[in-house]
Structures are given as structure tokens and as C-alpha cells.
Chains A and B, each alone.
Chain A
Amino acid sequence: MRTPDLIRFARDAATGNPLRSFLLVLAMAIGVGAVVVLTALGDGARRYVLNEFSSIGSNLVIVLPGRSQTGGFNPGNAVTSTPRDLTIDDAQALLRARAVHRAAPLAVGTSEISFGGKLREVMVVGTTAEFIDVRRLALAQGRFLPAGDWRRGVSEAVIGAKVRDEMFGHESALGQLARIGDRRFRIVGVLASSGQGLGMNTDELVIVPVALAQAMFNSNTLFRILVEATGREAIEPAKAQVTEIIKQRHDGEEDVTIITQDAVLATFDRLLGTMTLAVAGIAAISLAVAGILVMNVMLVSVTQRTAEIGLLKALGATGATIRNAFLTEAAMLSVAGALLGFVLGQAGAALIRQLYPAYPAFPPDWAVLAGLGTALFTGIVFGVLPAGRAARLDPVQSLSRR
């Protein structure tokens, strides 16, 4: 039998029983569609997290007080029970490191802001002019904190978009005097709304000079120091140099934890990548189920078409021809199902993106290819058994059945 004839014959056989073919294609489509949508969700989550992290600022090195638990045994820890705090001087000292481009100290606490009779609890961040660049934040109005001596500071504050809306409403916030804690600050800038973010939501922040924040919280320690390396390849040197400087300043003790964004990113990347794989695995089970369905439907089809198979043999068809015809039919139905599933899956992913614009729900290429490949593979593999059974049918028996 010629290939075009074989394909036409298989197509006619498939369309000759529309309900059966439709169910088969649907099963396959659901399997492939599930792979596409679920991996789009999984990979979307991965991308979302990665995006959020890169929006914090690139080439970022974060210095935390205290030795991290994962650092293993450190003789220094055994001697001093409490780690030394980070101070503004420590932060300023880091600027000496060659791989460090900028640094911003961070003191964090909660306080109240009040203006015109309105009162609201806010998170107050004490920092310096460098913060806006290190964290890659944008301003909606006004300007950021002025540069100057880190240990002093003018009573000026920058507020988040949500704080502005709630405290000032339709009034202009710029230039207003608001009380934060027990001091009066002049509002000089409003941050651009950043939407949802990991960690701190900048929309609800009030940013003041670090020295004033420390006075407000009555402490001279820092929550952390944000360091921006001079470039991507400078992140590791920056880490080493920062460690060295802190060690010198803390009597030879390495009592800080240094996180690079790369490391955090890599961890999340691995974690969410694994999750996507797991989800793809679950979806692949539905493909296997579809494959088994293909097999059963084809087996039923063989039984229903025994007379036809017997006839074809009487007309000179070899077992191989019959087998090929059934295999082609199974493969064609699987291909149709896989393509339909691909379209449905892509549409589903597009719908998710439409509903949640922040969520980059794009199925990864590998998942799409694997889904399509598995569909074809299962369709054909599970088609082999019915096709073989059809090929072995005894023509006399098949013909005599009416």
C-alpha cells in the first residue's frame, strides 16, 4: 500500500467513527494541554520570582549581622556569644573596598506617621541617598534624601505611594510637614508605586536619614547593609573584600552573613525548576492515561472492524498492511490530539497571563516539545498492540461474523 493511500485510508477510518475519534483526540488534547498549562504555571512562578529578585537591584551583596547557621562551626562563635552589631561606620568602611560601587546602610523599625489628624502605622527605613540607586527604586514626585554626612541628617522623608494616598489624599504631599515618631519631617519625595514585591513592599515605606532613624529607635545598630558591586563579575571579590573589612573592624571575627543575590537566585531557580519538573511529571501521567485510552479505543475498534479486516485480507492485504493502517490511524489521532492540546494549552496560558498580567505564564519550550513527543510516543506505542491484534486476525472467522 502506498503511503498517501495508507494515510487516506487511516483518515477515513478515523472520521468514519467521529465520536470514538473525538474522544480519543480529546483525551490526548487534555494530556498535552495539561502539560503545557501546568509547566506554564510552574515556569511562570520561577520567572516571577526571578523578576522580583532582579527588581531589588542587580549586583547586590547584602550584609547581615550575625554568622549564618549554615556557616558551619566557627571558633569565633564559640568565644563570643553575641555577634557584634553592624554600625554606620562599618557601612562607610565598606566603601573602601575596590569591588564596591555603592553601599547603603539600612535601619528598620515601625513607627507612626501623622498628618492633619490622620494617623497610620508605617515601616520606617533609615538609610542614605545611595539607597534609591542600590535598590533601583523610582520616584513619582520630588527628590530622594539628599547626599551628605551619614551620621547627621536633615529632617526630610520620602514616602511610599500608598502612604501618600492614605495620608494626603488629594492634597499634595510634597513640602508638607508630617510627624513621624516624635519628630517632624518635611516630605520631599514620593516613591513610584511598585506593585507587589517580595520582602518589603516599598509602597508602605517611609524613608528617613539613617541617623534620624537610629535616634528614633534609640539604637545605633543597622538592620543590614546593601552593597552594590561594581559589576557582575565583581560580586565575588566584593564579598571577599567586605568580609575582610568587617573582620578587621570586628577584632578578627567573621560575625556577619553575606548574601549575594546570585546565590539566592540560584536557590530559587533550582527550587522552582524542580517544582516545574514535578508538575510536568504529574501532567505526563495524564498523557499516559490518554495513551492507555488510545489502546483501549483502538482495541474496541479492531473488534468492531473484524469484518472489514477479514475483507481486506481476502482482497490481498498482508498482515503488515493491516498493522500499518491501524498504527497510522492511532498516530494520526494522537497527532491531532497533541496539536489540539498544544493550542488549548497555549490558550490557557494566555488566559492566565490575561487575568494575572504580572505572572509570566509561558510554557517552557522543553515542556512543549516533551509533551508533544510523549503524546505521539504513547499514541503509537499503545497503538502497537491493537494493530498487532488486527494483523493476526483470522480472515475466515472475521468474515463469517455478521
Chain B
Amino acid sequence: MSAALIELAGIERVFHLGDSEVHALRCLDLRIAAGEYVAVMGPSGSGKSTLLNLLGLLDRPNAGTYRLEGRDVTTLSAEEQARVRSERIGFVFQSFHLVPRLTAAENVALPMILAGIAPAQRAQRVARTLRDYGLENRADHRPDQLSGGQRQRVAIARATIMQPAVILADEPTGNLDRATGEEVMRLLEALNGQGVTLIVVTHDGALGARARRQLLMEDGALAHDSASPDEVKDACALPT
């Protein structure tokens, strides 16, 4: 098996709510190779978003190791994790998360501004990316002047501008109608076609079925993995 892009081993994520403990993720082992297209599905509260946040280094596990491109990233400092996010990971959110006071072009440029890239290079890349996503006429529009589909296209443009290795999308079509959602998925899939690893959380079975690999989450654990249908078991549930 080729070196995995993402390698999770024995991941635990526990939230404390008052006295009770919520096991959002338990005993998770997962390998995702570079260039894969993975759909994460499961009922509400099963830990999909928690998993995605962890993969995106927005959250740290309580136990277990996470290797990204062979490097253990759970032990990195906050600053180093920010760098990894900046250079290797792109996020697409259900509610777009555009900065309302910035124009489409400025929103797209934001990751490059944060990374300290020179303005000249920035302008060039922003212009090209906006063109790629059919947004060149919307460059100076603020998010509230854009339709939902356009907003999500801006968000995808922003997620790709730093040419990340992996794109994490949490219900990217959740706030869009079917046709627009379809269009957004095609954009993401096109990126995957260019070799970017794509991990999409979705409730929509039809959208999930388009992925080459489906993960089914249940109660914080992996209930089904289409890549290895036989060996799904719940080892951690057993007392050791």
C-alpha cells in the first residue's frame, strides 16, 4: 500500500459537558491515500464534523496519533499547526464563512494575505482563480451581494488558492438547492480530478454515492468503510 496522506490511529475525542462525557470520536483508525475522494456519512451527532475538524488541525484528539503526509501533526505547536493549515489544508463550510465586509476577491486572497504572500503574486493568482470559478464579474461584490452558489464558489476558490493537498468540506451543499449543490459538487470533484484529496461530509446519500469511498460514522466510531467492507468491527467497545 502506498504511503497514506492521512493516517489516524486510536483517535479519541471526548467532550465534557458538565458531569457527563460525550465520546464524539472513539478508537478511530483510518487511512486515506493521496488523491482519494471520500464521503463521510452518518446520522446527526455521530462525530462527522468532529472528525473533519481534527483532520483540519482545528481540534486536537484526546488520544491517538494523526499523521499527515507521514508527519505526526498532533504534537506540533499551535503556530506550526497554523502553518500546516495554511499550506496543506483547504476548508469549505456549510455556511460559507465569508468575511462580510470583504469583497469576493479579498475573501479569496485572505489565505495568501495571512501567509504573507506579496501583493503582486496575490493579485495574479486571485484573478486566475476567480476566472476559473466564473466569478470575474463578481470580484468586487461583497458576500451579501452574491447568491448562495456564488458564495460557495468564492469559498471553494478561497480553499484552493493556496493549492492545498487536501480539501475538507463539511456539508458544502447543505445550504444550497439541488441544482446549485450539484454544480458545487462538480467543482469539488474537478479539483479531485486534478489530484487534490477530497473529503466531504454529507447527509445526502446520492451525493455520498458519487464518492469513490464511503465512510459511515455511528456514535463516534467507524461503522462501515466501503474500502474494507469485511473488517469493520468495534474493537474498542470490548473491554481490554
Query: Is the Cβ of B162 less than 8 Å from the Cβ of A396?
Result: no
Please classify the interface of chain A as helix (H, G, I), strand (E, B), loop, or mixed, using the class held by over half of its residues: helix
Binary B-proximity of A284-326 (CB < 8 A = 1, otherwise 0): 0000000000000000000000011011111111111100000
Query: Is the Cβ of B58 less than 8 Å from the Cβ of A311?
Result: no
Q: Is A16 on the interface with B (CB-CB < 8 A)?
A: yes
Q: Which residues of A contact B (CB under 8 A)?
A: 1-2, 4-5, 9, 12-13, 15-16, 307-308, 310-321, 395-396, 399-400, 402
Binary A-proximity of B81-93 (CB < 8 A = 1, otherwise 0): 0110111000101
Beyond the given A2-B119, A314-B91, A315-B111, please list 18 additional residue pairs across the A-B interface where CB-CB is below 8 A. Answer: A2-B116, A4-B119, A15-B101, A16-B100, A311-B97, A313-B85, A314-B85, A315-B85, A315-B86, A316-B111, A316-B114, A317-B82, A318-B82, A319-B78, A396-B58, A399-B58, A399-B97, A400-B49
Residue of B nearest to A15 (CB): B101
Please give me the 9 A-B residue pairs with the lowest Cβ-Cβ distance, nearest first.
A316-B86, A16-B101, A318-B82, A315-B111, A395-B58, A316-B85, A317-B114, A311-B97, A5-B113
Q: Which residues of B contact A9 (CB under 8 A)?
A: 113
How far is B76's CA from A215's CA once the two chains are assembled, in angstroms? 103
CB distance from B220 to the nearest CB of A (A): 16
How far is B89's CA from A314's CA once the two chains are assembled, in angstroms? 9
Known: A396-B53, A399-B58. A315 touches B158 (CB 8 A): yes
Q: Is B95 on the interface with A (CB-CB < 8 A)?
A: yes
9 A-B pairs whose Cβ atoms sit less than 8 Å apart in the complex:
A1-B114, A1-B116, A5-B119, A310-B58, A314-B56, A314-B58, A314-B85, A315-B85, A316-B115
CB distance from B124 to the nearest CB of A (A): 16
Q: Is B231 on the interface with A (CB-CB < 8 A)?
A: no
What is the number of residues of chain B that contact chain A, defined by CB distance less than 8 Å?
30
Query: Is the Cβ of B101 less than 8 Å from the Cβ of A13?
Result: yes
Q: Which residues of B contact A (CB under 8 A)?
A: 49, 53, 56, 58-59, 78-79, 82-83, 85-87, 91, 93, 95, 97, 99-102, 110-111, 113-116, 118-119, 158, 162
Residue of B nearest to A311 (CB): B97
Residue of A nearest to B111 (CB): A315
Q: Which residues of A contact B86 (CB under 8 A)?
A: 315-317
Query: Is the Cβ of B102 less than 8 Å from the Cβ of A12?
Result: yes
Q: Which residues of A contact B85 (CB under 8 A)?
A: 313-316
Query: Is the Cβ of B79 less than 8 Å from the Cβ of A319?
Result: yes
Query: Is the Cβ of A315 less than 8 Å from the Cβ of B102?
Result: no
Query: Is the Cβ of A313 less than 8 Å from the Cβ of B82?
Result: yes
Q: Which residues of B contact A399 (CB under 8 A)?
A: 58, 93, 97
